Amino acid sequence: MTDRHEYVHTAGTRREDGTYVVSRRGADSAGNQQVFDSFEALESLYADLPNQFDADAVGCQGAKITGSRRHMLVRHFVEHPAFDCRLVSRRPLEVVKR
């Protein structure tokens, strides 16, 4: 059984195999998702980011994260209640941890 939560721009899915998938809400192609080994792996990525970060910082932390997936992850961090941060700029997309 999978557990999926949809937010404004993104969705998070916990799969039966323990992986966690961040995807664009309403999108169904692999190009619009990033798969992590677990939710804890996503939490670890977030913890490694500086107090104020943008999509480029997300790409630097996770070598496999490229292109628009970086922006999707920034939005997911803002939308998901497990991550205590807020959006401070839309252009460029930038977040500050609380």
DSSP state of 23: E
pLDDT of residue 62: 63
Tokens 């980011």 sit on residue: 49
pLDDT digits (tens, 9 = 90+) for 41-59: 999 999 999 999 999 999 8
Task: Quote the number of domains for the chain.
Answer: 1
- DSSP assignment string, 35-92: EES-HHHHHHHHHHS-SEEEHHHHHHH-TT--THHHHHHHHHHHHSTTS-EEEEEETT
pLDDT digits (tens, 9 = 90+) for 15-42: 999 999 999 998 877 779 999 999 999 9
Q: Who contacts 91 (Cβ-Cβ below 8 Å, separation ≥6)?
A: none
Supply the range of the domain harboring residue 26.
3-97
pLDDT of residue 26: 84
Q: Which amino acid is at 77?
A: F
